[in-house]
Amino acid sequence: MTSPTILVVDDEIAIHRFLKPVLAAEGYKVVQAMTATEALKLHGEVRPDALVLDLGLPDLDGKEVIRRLRRESGVPIVVLSARDRETEKIQALDLGADDYVEKPFGVGELMARLRAALRHARPRSDERLLTSGDVEVDLAAHVVRKGAAEVRLTRREFDVLAVLLRHAGKVVTHAQLLREVWGSANAGDTQYLRVYVGQLRQKLEDDPAAPRLILTEPGIGYRLV
């Protein structure tokens, strides 16, 4: 099996010096870029399996890099940035980033989120059947099971769960969930989501008060583990 190639885009030399051996130890090939222009050029030449992308680049904002890449590529993008405002995270995710990790960061968390982004990018052998833990969803039959028991969901509950499962491991923003389930006219009605996610947790979580399946990303959206 060929080792995945990771393109690290950051203007800090210290980040490159730190991340290259860490990624290599995890079995990845590493390609490095210091600017947005260099990153876009290398993406076309190398076709990496994923990007680790800083937003504060000297020539273009990292969000513009995401925008340009999404015109032509579904390559997984994990943002690694010191920008910690919710609006920055939401904009990057809505533009097509797969995940967002704040600096300073823990290596274990970054590697876990990178692995999740890479898993999500792999083509599924069966798009009809999706699973997470002991929860199994048959999209064609509209059947949900937890362990051996069938779980009865309303149509809206099923639709919300299906979107989260299709993006398993990724942060799905409030706006994205609302658009995909209720349509663009309801993109600001986050109260819908709180109600339906709460109902899903009651039906699917072992302990709805301490969810382990559907996690909240405060102010941003939800992530299905």
Last residue of a domain, one of 100, 121, 142: 121
Whether residue 95 is found in the same domain as residue 144: no
Whether residue 34 is found in the same domain as residue 107: yes
Predicted confidence at residue 159, as pLDDT, reads: 85
- Non-local CB neighbours of 183 within 8 Å, separated by 6+ positions: none
Beta strands in the chain (DSSP E): 5-9, 29-33, 50-53, 77-81, 99-102, 129-132, 135-138, 143-146, 149-151, 171-173, 214-217, 221-224
Distance from C-alpha of 180 to C-alpha of 94, rounded to nearest angstrom:
13
Are 50 and 8 a contacting pair, CB within 8 Å? no
* Residue of 134, 175, 171 whose CA lies nearest to 151: 134
Span 72-100, pLDDT tens digits: 788 899 999 888 788 888 889 988 898 99
Predicted confidence at residue 5, as pLDDT, reads: 95
Last residue of a domain, one of 98, 121, 144: 121
Whether residue 159 is found in the same domain as residue 69: no
- Non-local CB neighbours of 115 within 8 Å, separated by 6+ positions: none
Q: What average pLDDT does the segment 40-68 reach?
A: 93
Whether residue 96 is found in the same domain as residue 143: no
Whether residue 166 is found in the same domain as residue 183: yes
Predicted confidence at residue 42, as pLDDT, reads: 93
Predicted confidence at residue 32, as pLDDT, reads: 97
Predicted confidence at residue 127, as pLDDT, reads: 53
Whether residue 191 is found in the same domain as residue 97: no
Span 35-44, pLDDT tens digits: 999 999 999 8
Q: What is the DSSP letter of 107?
A: H
Span 102-126, pLDDT tens digits: 888 889 999 998 988 887 665 444 4
Q: Kindly calculate the radius of gyration of the chain based on its CA atoms and give it in whole angstroms.
A: 18
Distance from C-alpha of 134 to C-alpha of 213, rounded to nearest angstrom:
10
Q: Is the pLDDT of residue 185 over 60?
A: no
**pTM as predicted:** 0.64
Predicted confidence at residue 166, as pLDDT, reads: 80
Are 134 and 147 a contacting pair, CB within 8 Å? yes
CATH number at residue 210: 1.10.10.10
Predicted confidence at residue 3, as pLDDT, reads: 86
Q: Compute the mean pLDDT over every residue in the chain, rounded to the nearest whole number.
A: 87
Predicted confidence at residue 139, as pLDDT, reads: 74
Span 22-39, pLDDT tens digits: 999 999 999 999 999 999
- Non-local CB neighbours of 147 within 8 Å, separated by 6+ positions: 134
Task: Give residue 34's identity as a one-letter amino acid code.
Answer: M
| pLDDT-wise least confident of 42-51, 178-187, 212-221 | 178-187
Distance from C-alpha of 138 to C-alpha of 224, rounded to nearest angstrom:
16
Q: Is the pLDDT of residue 45 over 80?
A: yes
Task: Report the relative pairing of strands 149-151 and 171-173 from DSSP bridges.
Answer: unpaired
Domain boundaries, position 66 = 5-121
